[in-house]
A and B are shown apart, each in its own frame.
Chain A
Amino acid sequence: MAEALDLKAIGTRPVRPDGIDKVTGRAAFGADLHLPNMLHGMVLRSPHAHARIKSVDLTRARAAEGVLAAVSGADFPGGAGAGDLAKNVIARDKVLYHGHAVAAVAAKTLLQAEAALDLIEVDYEVLDPVMSLDEAMADGATLVNESQHTNGDTSKPASNVAATQRFERGDLAAGFAEADVVVETEHRVPMAHQGYIEPHACTATANEDGKATVWCCTQGHFDVRSLTAQVLGEKVGNIKVIPSEIGGGFGGKTTIYLEPLAVKMSQMTGRPVKMTMSREDVFRATGPTSGTWCKAKIGAKKDGTFTAASAWLAYEAGAFPGAPIGPGCMSVLAPYEVPNLVIEGNDVLVNKPKVCAYRAPGAPQSMHAMESAIDELARQLDMDPIDLRLKNSAAEGTVAPYGPRFPAIGLRECLEAAKVHPNYTAPVPEGAGRGVAVGFWFNIGMQSSAEVRIAEDGAVTVMEGSPDIGGSRASMALMAAETLGVPYEQVKAHVGDTESTGFCNVTGGSRTTFATGMAVVQACEDIIAQCKQRAALTWDLDEEQVDWVDGEAVPKPGVNADVKPLSLADIARGAGRTGGPLLGRASLNAQGAGASFSCNFTDTIVDTETGKVDVLSFTAVQDAGRAIHPSYVEGQMQGGAVQGIGWALNEEYIYDDNGVMENAGFLDYRVPVASDMPMIDTEIIEVANPFHPYGVRGVGETPIVAPLAAVSNAVRDQLGFRIPDLPLSPPRVLEAIDEQGGH
């Protein structure tokens, strides 16, 4: 359907509306707000990875110079029975990871606040930390939470395994028996952080009437409102949240950490309280993604047809349940037709920070395992890795392992495009290796609202509530311009606060351009309907006799009326005479988010004397459904690839024996720098999503999924043996080379 559209704005690459302010430094981020009489809040964090809190004494801190408020868990509702979110914001009975917030102070200056932290007396009973999946899942393991039973089943002993998940289809044993070749692999991937540039920051001010306003950097201010209200025991209506510009989130800014502390201390003092995290705080106490232990097994006939596959996944949840095992299980075999399968997931507590979403949460780890196994299978079958995947590719009508039947999807198109890409038909550079992998993300819809307002000169304001983390304001403006038939420059998209626009769920799940975009399109259609009605009134015609063509109301073909077309500006100018201002609106719970598949391949070369892996080229092919602003689609593909490559090569949480993260900074938590990367070549495939008016699929998350296995498979190709675990850091690679040489 979308292919038939004659598009004017969509698919162009105009300047983003927030671009100039970001380049000049005028854009205001989370820490940029300053208010009169503002206090500075700081958090006291646990020096232990696992300990019982026997007491917290704030007396001396409260008496310190400049200090106006000090709080601990006892100042918040719920006590030891508070929910996980509240206990993560500030500990109650136990601290569950090094860096867990225990208390907070607000003082007139930052130095006074910092000095007061030293005066807080906390009596801890230190417990053994549980730092690995093996330890956590072993019989007789120390329990992170003594009252945690697997899947809530209290008939069984308490366990660090909070939840399990299982998908099953066909007869696994029979399927493997049918196979000519069976491959089994086992992999560990470390805990990794999103590494957004902007640390979390917020400012809160509570008024005497009981209302509070919070300014913060977030991917979803409506969620900040509800979660903050929940932790404080406040009514949602008492809290207003104003989102700042956001310096990266990647899923990590979909929850709250500082906001309830700032609101509480503002309520106590009657003064605004500002709180910001250091980079160290961000690493230690926000939500990275799970370290994992995955086993993959896959069997195929000689011609490559998959007969059976199984996956066993264990994911670190951190201190509270909620590892992304659901998406990990959903993704692991989603790209393929597999007649017999079993997929099992385990959500496991450890004494590390509570994980949060990170770009396609859970998929990169499980698919790294399966895409590595499939690579080995291709080698044993002596098949091209793209051909093997094409042979078994999911397509329209395939039933996904998690249940639904896929509508139109673009995996085959991605594989076919990769196969003929000049980077793939070119020979592998001398001494290097090439790796291929497939990526997938299901994407989500959820709730969005949008309003479209027309000024008296026809200027269009799009008001919506999805924080712009990847150029979405430009995409909203493009879809509005396309729908209304006006130039992009005539449209301004704005992200409103919780009281100036309708409810929107978080910017996450690659939903914004799809779902909020759909709301914007519907709000524009509402405007068009109103314009047709106003024109009919003006021309004394029936509404049905008026059409909207290229941004103008015109009589329908065959309607006999001697009138001039009316532009949006014409109608807006005369709106007072035809019923008042033009205001379009839509709200929805978007259905039909289309899955986005990708195929990535890369050439890498290992320095066999140092173990260093250099990425020579990287090519990302991905189905975007419809690229509204192709530059931002390419940007998502490139950014996701770089994050995936970083995770594959160097990124990892490194802990000492006491459960203290040793590399809580960008010096030793090694995200790639620009000079580490080749240009990430991109090719956008467009297989329209039938459920979006312009065919959009979410594109933000799929790009991080395939790079882990693509890089692993490339290193395998050069070395002749597989290093199953990540990261492929120089010491690990050199050790593997030395061991192999010794055999």
Chain B
Amino acid sequence: MGAYAYRAPTNVEEALSTLAAEAAAGNRAQMLAGGTDVMVQMRSIDKGPRTFVDVKHVAEANELHIGDDEVFIGAGIASAVLNENDELKRILPGLIESADLIGSTQIQGRATIGGNLCNSSPAGDTIPALIACGAVCVIASPGGNREVPTEDFVTGVGTNVLESTEFLIGLRIPRPKGRSSDAYLRFIPRTEMDIAVCGAGVALTLDDAGICMAAKVSIGAVAITALVVPDAAAALVGTAVDDEALAAAADASSALAKPITDKRGTVEYRRKVVGVLTKRAGAIARDRALAL
């Protein structure tokens, strides 16, 4: 354990110059959102000295817009704010339920989707949900903002595309149109306060006849990063998302999964259950879309 410093810049420009100054001084800087992962890590596995740069005071990272074409969720927005937003729950129910799975009510007062993404755990619950609904990461960078699709953001266990002088401002999500909806399911041995053994997010769009026009499927905790499952989406598109199509999607997820055996589950178990979750999440997303 060593010395810690704390900075609370109020806008992107200030935050970038703080990061640049820390980097120039040879200090380790770490962005802090809710701190629900960072605080736990600094008390256990990673006690090294560093400067925390708090994103919760950066104005641009604390915006929440629900536009006609796009939703923007700032990296500092607490999950509790999202979970209590009726419009978001209606248009992006899967994404919101993934955020609502993380932590207790008290923890959700601090926790953020952006933090969950930047923590870049293979088991992060919001990541497959973000990928399924086509979220794009807006990254503040010294040369100006850059954008990266969520499926390309995480690069390994606990690693991502952010440079030490960059940070996540927020997420741009295309607003679902027509009969579009999403769902996210994870498996844990308990009902809450646990970490995903595997997870699956499905977003899809149905036509007036109930036939799937577009779909995106992402699975979590079955590889070092969340995976996109194109074959699962292909199995759903052009069908009524019936049992046969869902079974094919389940098989595609199981086939793509590259899980490990650890204290939370075996390779065989995760491979099988990630298919089950794909099937079940697909059915929920379908029913939600049909109800629109």
Contact = CB atoms under 8 A, between A and B. Distances in A.
A111 interface: yes
Interface of A: 111, 114, 609-612, 649-650, 654, 662-663, 667-668, 670, 672-673, 675-676, 729-731, 734-735, 738
A670 to B, nearest CB: 6
Given A731-B265, A734-B269, 6 more contacts: A610-B276, A662-B263, A667-B195, A675-B192, A735-B266, A735-B268
Contacts of B189: 612, 649-650, 670, 729-730
Given A111-B1, A610-B187, A667 B269 contact: no
A676 B263 CA distance: 20
17 contacts: A111-B1, A610-B273, A611-B269, A650-B189, A667-B195, A668-B264, A670-B189, A670-B190, A673-B190, A673-B191, A730-B187, A730-B197, A730-B265, A731-B266, A734-B272, A735-B268, A738-B272
A650 B190 contact: yes
Interface in B169-199: 187, 189-195, 197
Interface string B255-292: 00000001111101100110010000000000000000
Contacts of A612: 187, 189
B273 A734 contact: yes
A735 B272 CA distance: 10
Contact of B192 (A650, A654, A662, A673): A673
Interface residues of B, number: 20
Q: Give the dominant DSSP class at A's interface.
A: loop
A175 to B, nearest CB: 42
B191 A676 contact: yes
A668 B263 contact: yes
A735 B191 contact: no
A200 B272 CA distance: 41
Contacts of A731: 265-266, 269
A101 to B, nearest CB: 20
Nearest to B1: A111
A738 B276 CA distance: 14
Minimum-distance CB pairs A-B, first 10: A675-B191, A731-B269, A609-B276, A662-B263, A654-B263, A673-B193, A676-B191, A663-B263, A650-B189, A676-B190
Contacts of B268: 735
Contacts of A730: 187, 189, 197, 265, 269, 273
B165 to A, nearest CB: 30
A612 B266 CA distance: 15
Contacts of B276: 609-610
Contacts of B190: 650, 670, 672-673, 675-676
B194 A667 contact: yes
Interface in B145-167: none
A738 B191 CA distance: 24
Q: Which of B189, B190, B195, B269 has the most CB of A within 10 A?
A: B189
Contacts of A663: 263
Contacts of B263: 654, 662-663, 668
Contacts of B262: 662
A662 B264 CA distance: 10
Nearest to A669: B263
Nearest to A110: B1
Given A610-B276, A612-B189, A734-B272, A670 B266 contact: no
Nearest to A666: B193
A368 B269 CA distance: 26
Nearest to B270: A731
A29 to B, nearest CB: 20
Interface string B56-99: 00000000000000000000000000000000000000000000
Interface in B224-240: none
B188 to A, nearest CB: 9
Contacts of B194: 667, 670
Contacts of A675: 190-192
Contacts of B265: 730-731
A610 B198 CA distance: 11
Nearest to A730: B189
Nearest to A662: B263
Q: Which of A649, A650, A654, A668 has the most CB of B within 10 A?
A: A668
Nearest to A652: B263
Nearest to B187: A610
A612 B280 CA distance: 15
Q: Which of A650, A662, A663, A730 has the most CB of B within 10 A?
A: A730
Nearest to B276: A609
A729 B264 CA distance: 10
Nearest to B273: A610
Contacts of B264: 668
B105 to A, nearest CB: 12
Q: Which of A610, A668, A670 has the most CB of B within 10 A?
A: A610
Nearest to B266: A731
Contact of A735 (B195, B197, B269): B269
A568 B266 CA distance: 69
